[in-house]
Structure 1
Amino acid sequence: MATAPARRSRSLTQNVVTALSERIRQGEFHVGEKLPTESALMESFGVSRTVIREAISRLQAAGLVETRHGIGTFLLEPQNEQQLRIRTENILTMLDVMAILELRISLETEAAGLAAQRRTDAQVQQLRGILDDFSRHVQKKTGNAVVSDVAFHLLVASATGNRYFHDILKQLGRAIIPRTRVDSAAIAQEEGDRTRYLERVHLEHEDIFNAIVRKDSDAARAAMRTHLANSRERLRRAQEAVSRQG
């Protein structure tokens, strides 16, 4: 029963995203034009400020708008429709995130292998620093581990020397981290508690890092595949738990 408000909030947010996206496509707003204020959008859609802010965040992730602090939100030049683009505002459910994880298993497994072959000493030092930051956030329970998590995967992609690996992951942004798109409490519950869950993620990252340091491509691929497959399995169990509660 506790999940009902969250589901309703996600539904309201998606309704606002869909409506604003359609208004943008119909030319109601021009490139560089400021969108209505949060208060005006709240009144227009009859929803809370939280819903409006989440909707704007998804439009930002999709590259449709940008928010300038203290000024407002502005419409961006539309991207070329022929470009490969994943619509992150549509990644809403555990099933959506698991589908993204399936894509990432193929993409990042090979990226880890290439990174092991091509990484520089400077990139190894950067990866070490990112992992140390992640560990500190976990131990201090600051809630900022997501930043380090994203940075780790992006840097592994950069270490391939092939910018397209990095470009695709960067396009996904924070959506590559499952707990930012679904009920992280459900995932943590399956792991026992949030700290233990993040500690396990950290150990999986360390396995990937150590293989890259050794320039062991096969081990790097295996470690990345294991890490992402474990994430998918954690999500699957969490989805089952939420379904039982519902």
Structure 2
Amino acid sequence: MTEFREVRRTSLLPDQIAADIMSKITEGQLVPGDTLPTEHALAGTFGVSRNVVREAIARLRSDGVVESRQGRGAVVKPITERETFRVDIQALGKSGNLADLFELRGLLEIEAAGLAAVRRTSLDLEDMGKAIAELDGELHFDERRLEADAAFHRAVGKATGNAYLYGIICYISSRLKETARVTSDVYEKDDLLQVTREEHRRVLRAIEAGDRTGARTAMAAHISGASERLKVPVRSVSRL
């Protein structure tokens, strides 16, 4: 029987419960075809109301992780049948997950930078420049600079002219904000913001020059550098 722990009462309860259930699925404690405990049972286990549990399950259903079946309740879906792509922040600390995410980021963003170099508009370049400018004036990342970092990657994604590629880059960049916070604790030097800013500038210069190869190379160096600063071993980013 899968065991859940009681959660503290906060406004984030549904998210916490959904994340806990998702972690059990990711770790294989709940497998495709398994039925979740009843709302009543989960409410008692987590120490919350059934409405909170219902909202948490609704979020998992919206993400395509579970589905409701007549007479059975919420059933875990196979990953091959999920309609949505989801990065579970709670699971990034598990072995290999963060490395996999960085590898995916490389596969997507390196090619995106190359496409941006040949498709970008003057507005795209302006958006990238504004994001980099937001990184100036401070020595360390704060919430404003974390958002500016993510905004730069979104602008590169938008410059590809591919709505689907742009959408997934936006999603991943929002999830990677937490890795930037962690890097600030792991990275031993005090030039994190300066290094990140310069790597972004190299990408922008190549995109502005219409240099597809140079843009891909600069983005590969940035992602490889980011993974190294976080001490995350990535299999293929440096070779892309």
TM-score normalised by length of structure 1: 0.62
Q: In 1, distance between residues paired with 2:223 and 2:18? A: 32
List per-residue Cα deviations over 1:170-216 (Å, max 9, x = no partner): 233432246347463112x2xx12xx111101100000001111111
* More contact order relative to length (CA 8 Å, sep ≥ 6): 1
List per-residue Cα deviations over 1:84-135 (Å, max 9, x = no partner): 5133232225842222111111111100000010011011111111110122
Quick one: structure 1 residues 134 and 20, their matched pair in 2 at CA, closer, same or farther if it must change by over 3 Å?
A: same
Partner of 1:229: 224
Amino acid of the structure 2 residue aligned with 1:157: G
- Could you tell me which runs of 5 or more consecutive residues in structure 1 were left unpaired when the two chains were aligned: 1-12, 30-35, 46-55, 57-63, 66-72, 239-246
CA RMSD in angstroms comes to 3.7
Partner of 2:208: 213
Equivalences, count: 186
| Residues 1:198 and 2:193 are matched in the alignment | yes
Q: In 2, distance between residues paired with 1:150 and 1:207? A: 16
Are the equivalent residues in 2 in contact too, given 1:127–1:155 (CA < 8 A)? yes
Amino acid of the structure 2 residue aligned with 1:44: G
Aligned with 1:17 (options 16, 19, 22): 19
Are the equivalent residues in 1 in contact too, given 2:109–2:219 (CA < 8 A)? yes
More helix by share: 1
Runs of 4+ in 1 over 6 A off after TM superposition: 13-16
Partner of 1:44: 47
Amino acid of the structure 1 residue aligned with 2:97: D
Q: In 2, distance between residues paired with 1:20 and 1:109? A: 30
Are the equivalent residues in 2 in contact too, given 1:169–1:176 (CA < 8 A)? no
Are the equivalent residues in 1 in contact too, given 2:183–2:229 (CA < 8 A)? no
Quick one: structure 1 residues 171 and 186, their matched pair in 2 at CA, closer, same or farther if it must change by over 3 Å?
A: same
Quick one: structure 1 residues 83 and 232, their matched pair in 2 at CA, closer, same or farther if it must change by over 3 Å?
A: same
- Could you tell me which runs of 5 or more consecutive residues in structure 2 were left unpaired when the two chains were aligned: 1-14, 25-34, 65-80, 234-240
1:12-161 mapped onto 2 (5 Å cutoff): 17-19=19-21, 26=36, 44=47, 75-76=58-59, 78-80=62-64, 81-89=81-89, 90-93=91-94, 95-136=96-137, 138-139=138-139, 142-161=142-161
Amino acid of the structure 2 residue aligned with 1:106: L
Are the equivalent residues in 2 in contact too, given 1:113–1:218 (CA < 8 A)? yes
Q: In 2, distance between residues paired with 1:91 and 1:181? A: 13
Q: In 1, distance between residues paired with 2:130 and 2:171? A: 23
Are the equivalent residues in 1 in contact too, given 2:139–2:193 (CA < 8 A)? no
How far does residue 164 in structure 1 lie from its aligned partner after superposition? 1.6
TM-score normalised by length of structure 2: 0.63
Percent identity of equivalent pairs: 26
